[in-house]
Amino acid sequence: MIIKCKRCHENTFVFEFESKKMCRRCIRLVARGQPTKGKFKYADNKLDHHKQRVQKVDMRVSGISKTRHTLRRTQSAMTLSEVSGSGSGQGMIEEPTTVDDTAPYIPPSVMRLQCMTLFIPFDAGNNFYKTNAKKGTFQADFIPQRDNHFASTSAPTTSRALSSLNTSVYPGQQVFEARSTPMTPTQIEGSYDNIVLKHIMACTNSSEWKRVHSASPIDLHVQLSRLCPEVIFLSEELKDAPFPKVLQPCPELRYRKIGSIKDILGPDAGVDAKNEIAAYALVDEKFMSHVLYDAKVLFRQGVKHKEKWLCVQKISPEFQVHIDIAGVHLDAGYTGFTSDTKKQQALAAVGEFARQNDIDALLGDLNMDSFELNGGFFPNQFNFTTLADNTVKPTYTLSHSNTNSQNNYMGGLIANTDQVETEAMNLRGEDTVSLSRTLDGKFYSDHPAIMANYFKSFHG
């Protein structure tokens, strides 16, 4: 059959089983990708998170990207008659248009692959979350300053680097999750669906994906995956609460298990419950997703123990492209890496390992603070707050993610920084968010769930 390629706009012959949107040549150009070159360095991947948020909002409002390429050559003078073909205005010559001739050329994105990912940790040791329940959790509001510095709303004139807010109690912190009783393993086993639903409802536009499901379009899976998590990781399997084969948090959303570390390595591998991670992918009753999912395990040497990463690859067979997201639980030995030097070296090694293994992004329990990195900042929420002097300031609500409420362990990073970025998942503009560790006021974990909305761009 003959199609018109949506990229090069040329008519071309394709077989029935091939893409009806792009020709073979354009698919090859798009699929070859542009992997990030060079070694992963901590300093190169630090990000001013608030500045990036402002730039993204500005781009959405104006429709113009500040990084969009400009003309590369000075425009030649020509008469209006040569442009219009009429004789009016003869002799009137345009002034030469001067542009930056050294500006880098940024090829336009011809396709983007999205993968909204939710990571929910539990406590396989069945101990720490009980301690957490006795203490409760806390949060505090911070005003963003330049160069990733933040000032507490309780002391707005005092600014500190984001990294310095780790390993200490937040100034002016207040109760986030009150002291309560912990859930039993039996209660947790019967509540996996409810736990997932709570987190989805907290950070997505539920009325919109419910409307989409009710309309039941032919591309239901595509539309749902734009609005709610497409991949869910469950980490640290409790002995008496095995992870389910299927997650169905509500009638509109259903997730099937596509792999776990235990399933992939087999019973003889002796996978410890603390290292178990299971991955689930969104499915729909139409079975018209046009994407495939694959799960694999990567081994990496940590401080004392060998880590097992569960990597999910979302594949678009039609265009021969994919995005790779890893759910991780790094070596507990990293909890001692509190100095900036050791932490930055360790995270750089993690990022380099991901880059060498073609992992686009990772998230999970890092056992160290990644808040400064691209793809590593997980605030509770973004808001605007009226201060005592009646000024209105943008604020980020932050909450420590470990048992003692003094450290940030839940996080992530983007390894493929040339192609992957995070974008808003809801009307509040949140692209990465830290959630809770309770259900109906009762603690089920010592770490909060986190969620990120990843986009991978392909340039032809």
Together in a domain, 117 and 232? yes
- What is the distance between the alpha carbons of residues 249 and 252, in angstroms, rounded to a whole number? 8
- What is the distance between the alpha carbons of residues 406 and 408, in angstroms, rounded to a whole number? 7
Together in a domain, 9 and 127? no
Burial class (CB in 10 A: 0-12, 13-18, 19+), 87: exposed
Question: Which residue, among 457, 352, 367, 368, has the nearest Cα to 415 in the 3D structure?
Answer: 352
- Is residue 53 assigned to a domain? no
- Is residue 311 assigned to a domain? yes
- Is residue 199 assigned to a domain? yes
Together in a domain, 122 and 14? no
- Is residue 382 assigned to a domain? yes
For the question of whether the overall pTM of this predicted structure is more than 0.75, the answer is yes
Together in a domain, 11 and 128? no
Alpha-carbon distance values, 101 to 66, 76, 96, 305 (Å): 17, 14, 13, 52
**Total of domains in the chain:** 2
- Is residue 86 assigned to a domain? no
Handedness of CA 385, 159, 368, 50 (dihedral sign): positive
Structure tokens at 225: 């995956």
Together in a domain, 27 and 115? no
What string of pLDDT tens digits covers the 460 residues of the chain?
787 776 677 788 777 656 667 776 776 666 665 555 689 999 999 999 999 888 887 666 555 554 444 333 333 333 333 333 444 444 444 455 454 555 554 555 557 889 999 999 999 888 899 999 999 999 999 999 988 899 999 888 888 988 888 888 898 899 999 999 999 999 999 999 999 999 999 999 999 999 999 998 888 888 999 999 999 999 999 999 999 999 999 999 999 999 999 999 998 998 988 899 999 999 977 666 678 899 999 999 999 899 999 999 999 887 788 999 999 999 999 998 888 899 999 999 999 999 999 999 999 999 999 999 999 999 999 999 998 889 999 999 999 998 877 889 999 999 999 999 999 998 888 999 999 999 999 999 999 999 999 999 987 5
Together in a domain, 28 and 114? no
Quote the domain boundaries for residue 17. 1-32
- Is residue 89 assigned to a domain? no
Together in a domain, 119 and 26? no
Looking up tokens 């937040």 gives 170
Looking up tokens 């425009």 gives 75
Together in a domain, 17 and 154? no
- Is residue 348 assigned to a domain? yes
Together in a domain, 294 and 150? yes
- Is residue 19 assigned to a domain? yes
Question: Which residue, among 281, 279, 280, 290, has the nearest Cα to 220 in the 3D structure?
Answer: 290
